[in-house]
């Protein structure tokens, strides 16, 4: 027997053992689903900060200009290399599946997804939702030919550059299409496919509704959850509207080897169909009017609108669309070039402080909603954390200076590490001096603190580098 034949025999034996393990794993899980369920009391609405934000933002007194020039020359900013001119998006194609099943086409933020799936997926829960019906549903899906569909979904995930949340939303979009809008069956499909992909997904039910629950690496705010085996399982909704659940039934135990948590960070944006819009803006700084025109991706904002509210560091480290990156940084570059670090930072502060109208999330949306940078250019109002997120991005990506977020009770600001010595209020973090720079405090310069927070203890939120 040749070495190639020996290898083929070994592979068949290995794959056979793996299939047996898969079959046993699903069989054991289906049996467990028929046994161990209990009622869970749900918690609702984690809040990052209980203290209300300021409704009216004060205007800072005019900073005094020194009559005698500094003896030491100020450090002049070195502008970081700007992003390249955006190119027309290239639609990558995935390799067509050889599997011949039932054809399906769905739209995912303007991208047409073409799939083939096993018709046996189309099963019903029935009129009564209980552990037996759920166990039977899992059995039907686990004995279907689900792997070709999973392979196609994972291929689209790679081509579209989807993070964990975007992939879960894609799975849900496909589930809604397969089950023709039947929400309970679609959530069961989501649960099955995400579990098979290795995520620690769970399902629960009460009355006549099924709920999909996912644990995440960072907290989700304003949604129902329960804690099981040391993890918070959040009731997720892909509509952007949180479902308030008081009690539900879920199973004891876990599906073997499915223990991954959803990562909500967006180091790279999904490659979706673009919808570019333009916004003209202006602001005043040192008796001069500055004007700029930026372009942003409206379709990307639709994606963000369905995103769960999560921890601030996710927003501070999020990527921007190519259009917004290029136009925003290119328009601001000549305004700060050749200026001292202090003047450049103050100019960016004035831009963020005055080119956007202020209103709290409660007044604008009736709920807490943190903005990814793109969103500030669509909505008519923004508040403190939204402005801090944008300002931090500009200072880091245009001036190349380090920034941290300053989390006061009821308010978020930023602090900048200057290379030169700058007067004013500052904090020390990891043996580095960061000067308070508040992009919400109107007309405030670096080193000025909003009056109501001068003697308030704040928490530092470091901003990671991708």
pLDDT value, residue 382? 97
Total residue length of the chain: 466
Tokens representing 187 are: 């959530």
Question: Domain check: are 307 and 227 in the same one?
Answer: no
- Beta-carbon contacts of 67 under 8 Å, excluding residues fewer than 6 positions away, are none
Residue 347 has a pLDDT of 98
**Residues 292-308, mean pLDDT to the nearest whole number:** 96
Select from 212, 235, 251 the last residue of a domain: 251
**Per-residue pLDDT, 73:** 53
List pLDDT tens digits, range 119-172: 999 999 988 899 999 999 999 999 999 999 999 999 999 999 999 999 999 999
Mean predicted confidence (pLDDT) in 395-424: 96
- In a domain, residue 242? The reply is yes
Which of the four pLDDT bands, split at 50, 70 and 90, describes residue 303?
Answer: very high
Residues of the chain with pLDDT > 90: what percent? Answer: 79
Interval 403-415 mean pLDDT = 98
Beta bridge partners of 428: 433
Cα–Cα distance between 169 and 237 in angstroms, integer? 9
Identify whether residues 296 and 444 lie together within a single domain.
yes
Q: What is the mean pLDDT of residues 191-196?
A: 98
Q: Assess contact for 394 and 414: CB atoms under 8 A.
A: no
Residues 236, 323, single domain; the answer is: no
pLDDT in tens, 14-24: 434 434 445 78
Same domain as 182, residue 304: no
Of residues 3, 26, 7, the one with CA closest to residue 15: 7
What whole-number distance in Å separates Cα of residue 24 and Cα of residue 92? 38
111 & 164 share domain: yes
Q: Does residue 234 fall inside a structural domain?
A: yes
Q: Tell me: pLDDT of 116 over 50.
A: yes
Q: State whether 364 and 422 are in the same domain.
A: yes
Rounded Cα gap, residues 74 and 328, in angstroms: 26
pLDDT at 23: 72
- pLDDT of 127 reads 83
Domain annotation covers residue 257:
no
Q: Is the pLDDT assigned to residue 330 strictly greater than 80?
A: yes
- Rounded average pLDDT over 366-370: 93
Residue 73 lies in a domain: no
- How much of the chain exceeds pLDDT 70, in percent? 91
Residues 331 and 422 in one domain: yes
Q: What average pLDDT does this structure show over 322-346?
A: 97
Look at residue 185 and tell me if it is in a domain. yes
**What is the CATH classification number for the domain harbouring 340?**
3.10.620
Q: What is the pLDDT of residues 117-134, one digit of tens each?
A: 999 999 999 888 999 999
pLDDT exceeds cutoff 90 at 77: no
What 3-state class would DSSP assign to 98?
Answer: coil
What are 120-126's contacts with CB under 8 Å, separation 24+?
Answer: 120/144, 120/145, 121/146, 121/149, 121/178, 121/189, 122/178, 122/179, 123/185, 124/182, 124/185, 125/184, 125/185, 125/188, 125/210
pLDDT in tens, 234-285: 999 998 888 899 999 999 999 998 999 999 999 899 999 999 999 999 999 9
Domain count, the chain: 2
| CA distances from residue 110 to 157, 231, 312 in whole angstroms, order as listed | 15, 35, 28
pTM recorded for the entire structure: 0.91
Q: For residue 220, what pLDDT is reported?
A: 96
- Could you give the CA distance from residue 378 to residue 294 in angstroms, rounded to a whole number? 11
**Residue at 376 is within a domain:** yes
- Tell whether 133 and 213 lie within a shared domain: yes
Same domain (yes/no): 201, 282: no
CA–CA separation, 337 vs 328, rounded Å? 14
pLDDT in tens, 209-233: 999 999 999 999 999 999 999 999 9
DSSP 121: G
Rounded to 5°, the CA angle 209-214-218 comes to: 140
Same domain, 318 and 221: no
Residues 235 and 127 in one domain: yes
Handedness of CA 211, 217, 223, 224 (dihedral sign): positive
| 19 is a domain residue | no
What the block records as the tokens of 220 is 């989700």
Q: Which range is least confidently modeled, 19-33, 47-61, 216-230, 352-366?
A: 19-33
Question: What pLDDT does residue 65 have?
Answer: 47
Indicate if 145 and 283 belong to the same structural domain: no
Domain's final residue, options 251, 284, 305: 251
pLDDT surpasses 60 at 68? no
Nearest to 51 by CA among 461, 462, 456, 463: 456
Establish if 409 belongs to a structural domain.
yes
Could you tell me the residue range of the domain that residue 404 belongs to? 276-462
């Amino acid at each position: 027997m040749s070495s190639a034949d020996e290898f083929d025999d070994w592979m068949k034996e290995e794959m056979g053992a793996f299939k047996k393990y898969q079959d046993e794993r699903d069989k054991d899980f289906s049996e467990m689903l028929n046994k161990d369920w209990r009622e869970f009391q749900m918690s609702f609405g984690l809040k990052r900060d209980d203290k209300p934000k300021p409704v009216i933002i004060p205007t800072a007194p005019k900073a005094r200009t020194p009559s005698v020039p500094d003896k030491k020359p100020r450090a002049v900013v070195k502008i970081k290399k700007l992003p390249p001119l955006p190119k027309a998006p290239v639609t990558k194609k995935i390799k067509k599946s050889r599997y011949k099943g039932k054809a399906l086409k769905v739209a995912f933020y303007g991208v047409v997804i073409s799939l083939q799936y096993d018709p046996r997926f189309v099963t019903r829960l029935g009129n009564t939702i209980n552990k037996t019906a759920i166990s039977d549903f899992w059995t039907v899906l686990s004995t279907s030919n689900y792997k070709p569909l999973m392979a196609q979904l994972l291929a689209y995930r790679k081509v579209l550059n989807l993070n964990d949340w975007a992939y879960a939303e894609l799975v849900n979009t496909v589930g809604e299409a397969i089950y023709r809008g039947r929400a309970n069956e679609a959530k069961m499909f989501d649960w099955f496919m995400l579990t098979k992909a290795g995520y620690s997904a769970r399902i629960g039910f009460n009355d006549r509704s099924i709920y999909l629950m996912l644990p995440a690496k960072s907290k989700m705010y304003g949604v129902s959850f329960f804690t099981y085996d040391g993890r918070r399982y959040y009731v997720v909704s892909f509509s952007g509207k949180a479902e308030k659940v008081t009690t539900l039934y879920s199973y004891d135990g876990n599906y073997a080897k499915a223990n991954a948590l959803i990562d909500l960070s967006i180091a790279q944006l999904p490659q979706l169909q673009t919808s570019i819009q333009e916004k003209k803006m202006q602001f005043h700084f040192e008796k001069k009017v500055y004007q700029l025109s930026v372009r942003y991706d409206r379709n990307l904002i639709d994606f963000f609108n369905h995103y769960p509210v999560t921890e601030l560091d996710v927003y501070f480290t999020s990527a921007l669309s190519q259009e917004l990156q290029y136009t925003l940084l290119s328009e601001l570059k000549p305004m700060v070039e050749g200026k001292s670090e202090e003047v450049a930072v103050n100019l960016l502060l004035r831009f963020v402080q005055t080119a956007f109208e202020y209103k709290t999330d409660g007044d604008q949306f009736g709920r807490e909603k943190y903005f990814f940078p793109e969103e500030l250019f669509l909505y008519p109002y923004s508040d403190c954390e939204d402005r801090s997120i944008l300002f931090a991005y500009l200072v880091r990506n245009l001036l190349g200076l380090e920034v941290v977020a300053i989390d006061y009770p009821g308010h978020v600001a930023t602090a900048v590490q200057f290379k030169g010595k700058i007067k004013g209020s500052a904090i020390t973090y990891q043996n580095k001096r960061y000067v308070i720079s508040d992009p919400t405090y109107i007309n405030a310069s670096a080193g000025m603190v909003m009056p109501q927070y001068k003697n308030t203890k704040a928490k530092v939120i470091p901003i990671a580098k991708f």
